[in-house]
Structure 1
C-alpha cells in the first residue's frame, strides 16, 4: 500500500500530488499558503486527508471508473460543491469522469475516499434499499443524521490515522482498510434515519459564480470585466456582487483576478525561464501592466513572480 504525508507552501504543487485526480486548485484568499496532504492507496481504494489554510476553488474531473466520497471534518466558512450548499453534516459524492467545481473555505479539513466502481457496486447490491441509495448517489451533496455522521467520521479518521502510522501495509491489512472504509460509507447511506428521497438543487448564486469562472477561462488573454459579465448574463452588478460574496466570500473582481493569477503561476512553475518570460506568461492571462501585475501577484501569493520556482531542466514544458 502506498502511503505518504506531505506539507506544501503552494496550492498547485498540492493539487498535483493528489494521486489519480485531474484537477487544478486556485488560491483565492491572499497570503502565504500552508497545506497538508496525507494519502493511503491500495489497488481498489484511495483515501486522503487534506488541510489548506487559504480559500481555494477546485476544478477538474473525478477519476474514471471510480465512486468518490468526501467527508468534511472542519468547515469554517461558505462551501459549495457542484453548486450546492454544504456543511459539516453533509458528505459529497462524485461519479467517475464527472466534472466538478468545489469552493473550499479557508481552513478546510476534509477526508476523501475513492473506490473502484466495481468494488463499490458489488458491495452496494448486498445492502438494503440498493436502488434507493443508487438514486440518492446522483446528488453531489447528501445530508446525513448529525450524530451518526459524527460517529462514523471519527471511526474512519481513526482507522486512517492508524494505517498511516504503520510502515508496512500489505495483504490482509490492505484488504482490512478497504473493508472498513467501504462498510463505513455504506452503513451511513443504509441508515434508516437517512432521508434517501432528499433533493437539493443548484443555487442561482453558485450558477452565476461558476458561469463567470468559465467565461473568464474561455478567453483569458481578453478576460471579460465584471461589467462585461453582467451584460453577457443579463443580470445586475449587485446580483453578481452578492453571488460572489455568498459563494466565495469575496468580490467578483478579486475572485476572477485571482483565478487568472493562478493561471500565470501554473505556467511559470511548469516552464523554464528560457522558454517563457514572466511578461509573456502574464500577457497570456490578460495582464498587460507589469507593475500592477507584480503587485497583485505578490499580494496573493506572498512572493514576486521572479521569486516563483521555475521548472527543472529535465521537465518538459506543458500547456497552460
Structure 2
C-alpha cells in the first residue's frame, strides 16, 4: 500500500528524524530559524522524498541498507559537495546501501531523493542492454550528464512524484507504474549518449580537509581540538584550512566546527527529558563549559535559548 505525507518543520533535527528509512544527522550551519518542507511517498519497492531547507546544512549518516539511493538536485543556490565532489544542477547523486556519506547542502536547496530496493533494482538493471556501463557509473557518488537531458529528466521525475502525491487516496495498483517510471527515467539518464560512461570525478583536497576536521571534532567533543591543532594534525597551513572551509561550506572553520557541536547539544537536549539531563551537562558533553557563552551562541544559531528547546524525545533521533 502506498503511503505519503507532506510536512513542514521549524527544526532540522525533527525534519531529519521524519525522513523514513534514513539514519542521518542534519547540522545547521547558518544562523536563524530553520524552516523546511518534506514531501515523501513510500511504495513496496521505492521511497521518494522531496525536501527544501532555508538554512545551510551538512548531512552526515549512512544510506539505508539493501537499497540503491539516488538524488536529483532541483535547485543548487550555493556551494554544494556530495562525498567531497563539487556538484551542480546537472549532477546525479548516488549512494550504495550502507555507505557512509557527507553532503553539504546550501541555503534554500531543494532535492528529490529516490531509493529503490536493491534486489529489484538489480533485476531490472540486468534486463537493460547497458547494464555493464551503468554498473560502472554507479561506482561513484556523482554522475555528470548533459544539462538539457538532466533538466528533462528532472521535470519528468517531479511530475510523476507530484501526480502520485495528488492521488494518494488510490490503492497500490498504481505503485508498479510509479516505480517503473522513476526507475526508467534514471536509467535513460545514465544511458544517454552525452553521459560519459567512463567519467571519474575525484574528491577535492579542500573537501577532504573539511570532512577530516568535522570527524576529528565530533570524535573528541570533551577535548575539542583548536583550529591550530587541527592544522598540525593534518600537516596543512591555517590559510589552507580557512580557504577549504570558505570554499566547501561558505564559512570559517571556527564557526563551522562550533555550529556542528551546538547541533550535537541540540540533538542531545531534544532526545532526553529535562529530569534526566541538565542543559549544563548536555553542553559539557559537547565541550561547552561556560554556560552563558554557550547559551548566547546557541541562541544566535537556532534563534532560541536552550531553555526553550523542547525536551520531548524525537522518534528515530538517538543520542549523537
TM-score tier, shorter chain, comes to: over 0.9
Deviations 1:182-239 (A, max 9, x none): 1111111111221111011100000000000000011111111101101111110000
Deviation of 1:43 (Å): 1.2
Give secondary structure in 2 for the equivalent of 1:78. coil
Give the 5 Å matches for 1:191-210.
Answer: 191-210=192-211
Taking a change above 3 Å as real, the CA distance of residues 315 and 156 of structure 1, as seen in their structure-2 partners, is: closer
- Moved segments of 4+, more than 4 Å: 314-318
Deviations 1:64-87 (A, max 9, x none): 010000000000000000000001
Alignment of 1:216 with 2:210, yes or no, is no
Q: Secondary structure at the match of 2:270?
A: helix
Q: Which residue of 2 aligns with 1:48?
A: 49
Q: CA deviation at 1:315?
A: 8.0
> TM-score, normalised on structure 2?
0.97
- Deviation of the 1:317 alpha carbon: 10
Secondary structure of 2:41's counterpart equals strand
Paired with 1:33 and 1:106, the residues of 2 have a C-alpha distance of: 10
1:125 Cα offset (Å): 1.4
Question: Quick one: distance in 2 between partners of 1:278 and 1:172?
Answer: 50
Q: Does 1:145 align with 2:146?
A: yes
Tell me the equivalent position of 2:319.
Answer: 319
Q: 1:167: Cα distance to partner? A: 3.2
Mapped to 1, the partners of 2:40 and 2:170 lie a distance apart of 13
Aligned-pair Cα RMSD in Å: 1.4
Equivalent-residue separation in structure 1 for 2:237 and 2:27 (angstroms): 26
8 Å Cα contact 1:53-1:108 kept in structure 2: yes
Matches within 5 A, 1:56-205: 56-205=57-206
1:243 and 2:233 are equivalent in the alignment: no
**CA deviation after TM superposition for structure 1 residue 127, in Å:** 1.7
Q: Which runs of 5+ in 2 are unaligned?
A: none
- Aligned counterpart, 2:287: 286
Deviation at 1:316, TM superposition (A): 11
The secondary structure found in structure 2 opposite 1:274 is coil
Question: What is the alpha-carbon distance in structure 1 between the residues aligned to residue 161 and residue 172 of structure 2?
Answer: 17
Q: CA deviation at 1:318?
A: 4.8
* Aligned counterparts of 1:129 and 1:70: Cα–Cα separation in 2: 21
Aligned equivalent of 2:265 = 264
Structure 1: state its 5+ residue gaps. Answer: none
Q: Secondary structure at the match of 1:168?
A: coil
Give a deviation string over 1:131-180, Cα, whole Å, max 9, x none. 11101111100001111110110011011111111132323211111111
Q: Look up the match of 2:12.
A: 11
Q: Distance in 2 between matches of 1:316 and 1:282?
A: 22
Distance 1:159 1:146 in 2: 20
User: Using the alignment, how far apart are the partners of 1:286 and 1:249 within structure 2?
Assistant: 24
